[in-house]
Structure formats: C-alpha cells, structure tokens
Structure 1
Amino acid sequence: MRAYHIESAGKNPIVTSLPRPTPTTGEIAVEIGACGLNFADLLMVKGDYQDTPAAPFTLGMEVAGTVTDLGPETTGPAPGTRVAVFGGQGGLAEHGCFPAERAVAIPDDMSFTDAAAFQIAYGTSHVALDHRAKLQPGETLLVLGAAGGVGLTAVEIGKLMGAKVIACARGPEKLDVARQAGADHLIDAKTQDIREACKDLGGLDVVYDPVGGDQFKAAFRACNPEARLLPIGFASGDVPQIPANHLLVKNLTVMGLYWGGYLKFRPEVITESMQTLLHWYSEGRLTPHVSHVLPLERADEGLELLRTRRSTGKVVITMED
C-alpha cells in the first residue's frame, strides 16, 4: 500500500510502499478514503508534538473509511461499516489499523471528505466551549485564528450555542469565510488593534485561542470580569506567559484544552460530544469547510498550505489517484 511515512527521526516524510497492516486484538482494519491534515502533523514532522510517535511511523491523525476486518476478540464495528477514527497516526495511507473503541459510525449521507475533516476540529471546539468554558447564550466569544481548521468550527459552534461571536483573522478573504460561518463581528488581525476593537464591542466573556503570542495578550487585556480563556494551540510559535496577578484582579480563568487527552482519562466526554455533533450535522446545522482536497502524492503540498496559512478550514488528503 502507499503511505506518507517518516522512516527515522529528523527525516522528512515521503510517499512510499509499505506492507498492508493486520489488525491485532482490539483493532479494526480500515480501507481509508480520506485523511484530514492538522497543525499537529507539522509538529510531528519536527518531533515537537506532545504525542509524536517513535519513528518509523505514518502521519495522519484522523481518517474516514470502511471497516474491512476485525482483530482477534474484537466485536465491531462490523466489516462494511463506514467510520471516522481518530488514530493519532497512520491515517495518510491506503489502509490502516486503529483501536476499535475510537471508531465512530458516520451517517450514510456524510462523505469521507467531510468525515475526515470533522472529528478533531469540531470535537476540539465543542468540548472547549461546552464542556470546559460552559459558554452561555448572550455571552461574547472571541475566536482567534477564526478561518483556520479549529477556529472556523468555533465560530460555527459558538453561534449555534447562542453567543455573540467576534472572529479575528488575517485579511478580508479569511474574514469573509468566518462571516459565512456565522460571525457577528470581524477583526482584521493585520490592520486592527484587537484589544481596542474588542473593548469597543463590550469586552469578552470567552476567548478561544489556537494562535497564542501577541493576539492572546491583546485578548487577555480585553476580558470582562469572570471571563474564561481557552489556549487551544500556539500556531504563532509563541507560548504566552500569563500574569497571575491580572487573573486575580478580574477573577479570570485560563483553562487548557487538549482534545485527544480526554481519550486517556475521560473518553465519555468525547463520545457524548461526538454524538451531539453528528446529530447537528445530520440536521444540517454544521457544514465542514474544506478549502483543499488533494491526493496522497500531494501530501507535502497539503502540509505546506497549513504551514504558510494559505488554507481556510481544513485540508483533506484522499487516497484516490
């Protein structure tokens, strides 16, 4: 089978031929239709991600496809079931073996492209805003990086939850994507003062931040008393240092969110969240935004789109030629 593989630490991934894997106990074999790219894939290439596997390994954290076989003592999902799986690795290949407990059956009308773009982006935003921040109707939510993979879903979900959503992104094209996702107000991070713009809109109750750096600092200073701040990631490369004395003065709460971490200590949080999200999708209330769909041979190009921030929403790799 073809796979986008890292042979050893420090080497760049390449498309190569590997033996088709066989599922072990507790695993399912999946014929992969599509795999969503994530910023974490870029970090894995450099060895900087918190869950980077030991080399050799195949990149690709989230996939959609069809179950083809079950490992020993594995009861399902049955062969023929269409599933989405967060495997953490192994997704950028024609076939893969993944823990059966992580497989989620997807609706018949959900394409593999949509399903591969769904779990991490929507899951992260829903768990962050609902389970962690407990976003309430009428509150003001600022989404930084609002046209990116997770940011755009935070705009969409925040609006569904009844918040007033402020979307912050770089440039009019990206802001228009956020507007179409439901944003009430737009801030251009290239030309506007984020702090002043947010204060002019009444201040912030919840901040959703996959960017970090100066944007986090500006948002922090525009928070209302008892606001909640959610560091999701640090696409800027700058991990901000949080002044604890300012937390005290305004009674602010900073709460980290690593979606994949719940698989290890509270998997029911992800299971219940995904049930809600798939229900919303089936009702037509969620519309995954995929700016680029590329074949496996162009996986390098897909990662470069993420690295240079030229994509909006998700980039998805398909296994078709």
Structure 2
Amino acid sequence: MRAAVVRSFENPPRYEEFTTPRPTEGQVLVDMLAAGLHPRVRSGANGTHYTSDGRLPLIPGVDGVGRLPDGRRVYFVADGDAPGTMAEQALLDPRQSVPLPDDADPVTIAAAMNPAMSSWVALRRRTEFRPGRSILVLGATGNAGRMAVQIARHLGADRIVAAGRDPKRLALLTDLGATDVVSLAGDPAQSADKLAEAAADVDVVIDYTWGAPTERAIPALLSRRTDRSAPLDWIQIGSMAGPDITLPSSVLRAANLRIMGSGQGSVTAAGIIAELPSLMTELSKGTLTVAALPRPLAQVEDAWTAPTEPGQRVVLTVTT
C-alpha cells in the first residue's frame, strides 16, 4: 500500500510504499477515507509526544474515517500498537469505532473529532459540568480551544472566558460563544492580571497551554476568587507553552484547587469511545463547526509544512 512514512523525526513524512498491515485477532483492515493532521499527530511524528517510543519508520495518524469490508463507514481511534491512519489502509479494533451517520461528511468528521474530543470528554468525564457553570479556556486560539468554546456553549455554560495569544483568532471566538476574551500577548504579568480580572470566579479551566502561562495564571486567579473554598477544576489537556510548571505549596492550601489531566490513561479507552456517538451527532448536525482543509494523501509532505488560516484543520484524504 501507499502511506505517509516517517523515517526521521527531523523531517516531514513522505508518500511511499509500505507493507500493508496484517490484522490479528480482533482487528479489521479498513480502506482509509480521511485522517486529520492534528497537533497530536505532529508530536508523534517528531518523537516528542509522551507516548513516543522512538521507533522508526512509522506511519503517523491517530484516528480517521475508514470503510469496512462490508461498505460501512466508521470513525475510529487507532490502537497505540498499530500503524497510523495516514495510509491507504489501516487496522482498527471495532470496539474503538463508531458508525458514521448517512449524511456525515468523512472529511469534517476526520477534522473535528480529535480536537473536539479533548474538551468534550474532559467536561463530561473529568468534571461534573452543568448548565449555568462558567469556564476559562486557556489556549483558546488553537483548533481544540476553538472547539472547547463551542462545546462549553453547547453544554450550557453561562460565561465562557477565552484566552490566547493570536489576536486574529481571538477576535473570532465571540461569534462561537465566548462571552469574554483575554489576550495573553505582551507583558506576562499584565496578561495574568487581566486573566484574573476576567476569570477569577470560573468553575472550570480547560488548559491547553501549561508552562509559563499556567504557572502565572493559577496564583493570579486564586488570589482574586470571591470564595476560595469554592472548587476550581483545572483540567490539563495540552502543553503548548511547556511541559512543566512550578507551583507554590501555599496555593494548594489557600484555595480549593483541583488539578487533573484528561487524556490517554486518565480516561479509559472505553470511556472515551462511549462519548464519541453523541459528539459525532452534534458534528453531523452542524452544532459544532470546523474548517476542514482536505489534501490528497499523496501530497502529505507539502500539506505537513504549508501554512493554514485560523481555524483550519488539514485532512489527508484517500480516494477508493
């Protein structure tokens, strides 16, 4: 088969011949239709993701839409031990797949499920998010952050504070449901102060940044809370600004801060899969939107490095 193949962590994948994977017990070989080029895919392909084992060559891709031997279309999350989904064919475990509605667009589903899944699962599995609660999306200008704003609105949030560095992308978020936007550009101390002023009393933080922005944001928010005993669920999902923070111990004693992660391991595979049908329904209905940019799999090397417009998600497509 033909596939996107990574042979060096320093270079983008190339379109090459690769051995077709052979299914073992419980696996099915599917014809791929579409696979999204997510940040998670990029970090796996450059060896920086926390699940990377350093082995090469590899086929990137963590999910996608494929066609089963009986013709049905499914969205699936690839097993961690299987070759990736950016290929003409891929392996799936039927337990990690959900059928596409008849009217669903494979490219849209491949573009949106991964970025939407992070906050959808976090707000439904890692915290008890109810209508009327408030939320801060830290790192809201990425695709996953944009989705988090929409999902928070859909789940009934009464206040949605969106924070990010890109002013062009930040300005677009009010149309998606953000009630307040905060720029993280410029002086870090001033940014933390503005963030605290807007979001000190939120109930939940969805954090895609970590690193220095989070290190400054946590003390700033907690020092401004009207009621420090009110729980604040800080859900760590991404680490765009760095993998580590330093947090004074007094912060944890002086407020009811609950830091947790949401991702592979903190939520079971079964729990993640259980959330996918309802998420796919909302995507198919257009409740949640994404700007998908389809590119043929054969153009993977160019697609990997080409710039995109705000909100766009590249999807590699296979014609079968």
TM-score range, shorter chain: 0.7 to 0.9
User: Paired residue for 2:85?
Assistant: 91
User: 1: CA distance between counterparts of 2:87 and 2:237?
Assistant: 27
Which SS does the other structure have where 1:201 is aligned?
helix
Matched with 2:65 is 64
Aligned pairs for 1:174-185 (under 5 A) are 174-185=169-180
Equivalent residue number for residue 259 of structure 2: 254
Instruction: Decide whether the 8 Å contact of 1:30 with 1:95 is kept in 2.
Output: yes
- Quick check: 2:169–2:310 contact (8 Å CA) kept in 1? no
Give unmatched runs, 5+ long, in structure 1: 69-78
Partner of 1:315: 314
Shift of 1:171: 3.0
1:144 and 2:149 aligned = no
1:209 corresponds, among 207, 210, 223, to: 207
Evaluate the alpha carbon distance shift between residue 16 and residue 202 of structure 1 in structure 2; reply closer, same or farther with a 3 A threshold: closer
Compared CA separation, residues 284 and 291, structure 1 to 2 (3 A): closer
List aligned pairs for 1:10-29, cutoff 5 A: 12-29=12-29
Counterpart position of 1:189: 184
Q: Secondary structure at the match of 2:261?
A: coil
Q: 1:81-230 counterparts in 2 under 5 A?
A: 81-87=72-78, 88=80, 89-163=83-157, 164-191=159-186, 193-201=190-198, 203=200, 204-220=202-218, 221-223=220-222, 224=225, 225=228, 226-230=231-235
The share of aligned pairs that are identical, in percent, is: 27
Structure 2: gaps (5+ residues): none
Residues paired across the two proteins, number: 305
Q: Secondary structure of 1:55's match?
A: coil
What is the Cα-based RMSD across aligned positions, in Å?
2.5
Q: 1:154 to 1:246 in 2, by over 3 A?
A: same
SS in 1 for 2:232: strand
Q: When the two structures are superposed, what TM-score results if normalisation uses the length of structure 1?
A: 0.85
Question: What is the deviation of 1:105?
Answer: 0.6
Write out per-residue CA displacement over residues 4-45 of structure 1, whole angstroms, 9 at most, x where no aligned residue: 112367665321112333322211111111111122222223
Residue by residue over 1:267-314, the C-alpha shift from the partner in whole angstroms, topping out at 9 and shown as x without a partner, is 332133113212333444222x13532222333344436xx8865253
1:96 to partner: Cα distance: 1.1
Distance 1:28 1:262 in 2: 27
1:144–1:211: 8 Å Cα contact kept in structure 2?
yes
Q: Partner letter of residue 293 of structure 1? A: P
User: SS where residue 169 of structure 2 aligns?
Assistant: helix
CA contact (8 A) 1:58 1:90 kept: yes
What residue identity is the alignment partner of 1:197?
K
Compared with structure 1, are the counterparts of its residues 302 and 213 closer, same or farther at alpha carbon in structure 2 (3 Å cutoff)? Answer: farther
Q: Distance in 2 between matches of 1:309 and 1:142?
A: 26
Which residue identity lines up with residue 273 of structure 2 in the other structure? T
With over 3 angstroms needed to count, the CA separation of the structure-2 counterparts of 1:317 and 1:14, relative to structure 1, is same
Output the CA distance in 2 between the equivalents of 1:230 and 1:262: 11
Tell me by how many angstroms 1:252 deviates: 0.6
Range 19-28 or range 249-258, more displaced: 19-28
AA paired with 2:236?
P
1:165 positional shift = 0.7
**What one-letter code is carried by the residue in structure 1 that aligns with 2:62?**
M
TM-score of the superposition, structure 2-length normalised? 0.85
Residue type at the aligned position of 2:95: E
| Structure 1 CA distance for aligned equivalents of residues 287 and 309 of structure 2 | 26
Provide the C-alpha distance between the structure 2 equivalents of 1:243 and 1:36, rounded to a whole number of angstroms: 39
* Aligned partners of 2:115 and 2:144 also within 8 Å: yes
SS of match in other structure, 1:208: strand
Confirm or deny that 1:245 pairs with 2:250: yes
Which range moved further: 267-276 or 204-213?
A: 267-276
**Residue-by-residue CA offset, 1:247-284 (whole Å, 9 max, x unaligned):** 220111100111x3367xx3332133113212333444
The 5 Å alignment of 1:296-307 reads 296-304=297-305
Mapped partners of 2:310, 2:318: distance in 1: 20
Where does residue 76 of structure 1 map in the other structure? none
Q: Which has the higher contact order (CA 8 A, sep 6+)?
A: 2
Check the 8 A contact 2:185/2:191 in 1, yes or no: no
Partner of 1:4: 4
- C-alpha distance in structure 1 between counterparts of 2:64 and 2:18, whole Å: 18
1:21–1:317 CA distance, 2 compared to 1 (3 A): same
Q: Does 1:35 align with 2:35?
A: yes
**2:75–2:109 CA contact under 8 A, matched in 1:** yes
Distance 1:61 1:318 in 2: 14
Q: How big is each residue's C-alpha offset from its partner over 1:64-91, in whole Å with a ceiling of 9 and x where there is no partner?
A: 12112xxxxxxxxxx2110011115521
